[in-house]
């Protein structure tokens, strides 16, 4: 029997509702009505209460061969409460939309118990903002092929609530640096360079709050790191009312597994913070670093991310944008011809300068 799911429908016209980041309300694009989150939360509660104990009317199984245990372990099947269509998704999907009637669908069971997020940062930027940010990202890239912006198209654009673990803790550190102070002075035709060497030592503690590590194996870690930081002033207590209109996944990488990356980030941040206190030296080189972590609490949050997939010459290029701040990152193709032309131009300019110097030094001049 399929797990119960809940649609978020407009009480006026039964059209699909979506969360609008600009107003902070649920909106219906069919009739234009807007609703406070508290109203929709009560609607969810009433729907779940009414559905409790009811029988599933249809069990629509696809004809064909048997699924393997590996396949079935990673798939879930639900019935849309609006039109009865079967919705198939993977085992981490918590919010999606019905491909037939378009109603936004939430799977409450995915967030039950220990899987329920503590926090959510709602989307502030819409799909058009993501498209505009991508076009702006293309500008100023001198090695980007001209045909890329002309012929590529956005194959997919999705607003996804990505699961993140937030780590609180403290680091105690003892770090030694080799510092130098270089001074130069001239006496007649001679220039003297004096280098003084110093042992620079720092000890102390640094407190960390909500160090983010994404808990989804589907999202590239490099992309998720690059679109940080999120503004935690927008952090809200979790409510499923923020989900309609977007996709949402629960974590499939545990907090324990993510703690390795969190520890590495805290250690690197600690070393960087201590290095910034060694001002006044010409050079500063770390010689010994001891960082000890006092691990604190871990919380679970959903962060807003727009993903944009473009295709060009048979290859996929994935971009990710922070749905709160608009920061965008992604990989771009390189026009090798432009690269060679650029280096050739530098070489030509250099050879021209060398020829001019040779002519001047040999007593020549301009005609």
How confident is the model over 260-307, as pLDDT tens digits?
899 999 999 999 999 999 989 999 998 988 999 888 889 999 999 999
In three-state secondary structure terms, 186 is strand
According to the model, what pLDDT value does residue 87 have?
63
What is the rounded end-to-end Cα distance, in angstroms, of the chain? 93
According to the model, what pLDDT value does residue 271 have?
92
Per-residue pLDDT tens for 179-223? 999 999 888 888 889 999 999 999 999 999 999 999 988 888 999
In the predicted model, residues of the chain with pLDDT beneath 70 are 1-8, 13, 42-91, 94-115, 141, 143, 147-153, 335-367
Q: What is the DSSP string of 151-184?
A: H-EEEEEEEEEEEEEEEEEEEEEEEEEEEEEEEE
What CA–CA distance (Å, rounded) separates 90 from 77?
9
- Spatial neighbors of 367 by CB under 8 A, at least 6 apart, are none
According to the model, what pLDDT value does residue 62 have?
42
What is the reported pTM? 0.69
């Amino acid at each position: 029997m399929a797990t119960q799911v809940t649609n978020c429908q407009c009480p006026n016209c039964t059209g699909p509702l979506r969360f609008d980041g600009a107003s902070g309300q649920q909106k219906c694009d069919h009739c234009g009505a807007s609703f406070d989150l508290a109203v929709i939360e009560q609607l969810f509660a009433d729907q779940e209460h009414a559905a409790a104990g009811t029988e599933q009317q249809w069990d629509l199984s696809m004809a064909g061969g048997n699924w393997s245990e590996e396949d079935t372990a990673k798939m879930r099947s639900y019935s849309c409460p609006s039109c009865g269509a079967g919705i198939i998704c993977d085992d981490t999907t918590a919010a999606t939309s019905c491909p037939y009637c378009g109603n936004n669908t939430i799977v409450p069971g995915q967030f039950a118990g220990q899987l329920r997020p503590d926090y959510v940062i709602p989307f502030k930027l819409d799909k058009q903002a993501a498209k505009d940010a991508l076009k702006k990202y293309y500008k100023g890239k001198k090695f980007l092929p001209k045909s890329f912006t002309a012929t590529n198209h956005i194959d997919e654009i999705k607003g996804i609530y990505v699961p993140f673990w937030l780590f609180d803790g403290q680091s105690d550190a003892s770090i030694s640096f080799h510092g130098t102070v270089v001074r130069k002075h001239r006496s007649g035709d001679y220039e003297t360079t004096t280098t003084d060497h110093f042992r620079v030592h720092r000890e102390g503690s640094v407190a960390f709050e909500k160090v983010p590590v994404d808990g989804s194996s589907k999202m590239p870690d490099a992309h998720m790191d690059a679109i940080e930081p999120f503004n935690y002033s927008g952090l809200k207590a979790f409510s499923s009312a923020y989900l309609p209109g977007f996709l949402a996944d629960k974590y499939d990488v545990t907090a324990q597994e993510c703690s390795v990356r969190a520890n590495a980030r805290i250690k690197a941040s600690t070393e960087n913070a201590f290095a910034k206190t060694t001002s006044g030296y010409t050079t500063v080189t770390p010689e010994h670093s001891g960082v000890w972590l006092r691990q604190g609490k871990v919380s679970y949050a959903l962060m807003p991310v727009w993903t944009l997939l473009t295709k060009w010459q048979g290859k996929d290029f994935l971009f990710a944008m922070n749905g709160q701040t608009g920061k965008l990152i992604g990989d771009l193709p390189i026009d090798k011809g432009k690269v060679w032309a650029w280096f050739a131009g530098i070489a030509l300019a250099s050879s021209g300068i060398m020829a001019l110097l040779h002519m001047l030094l040999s007593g020549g001049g301009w005609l």
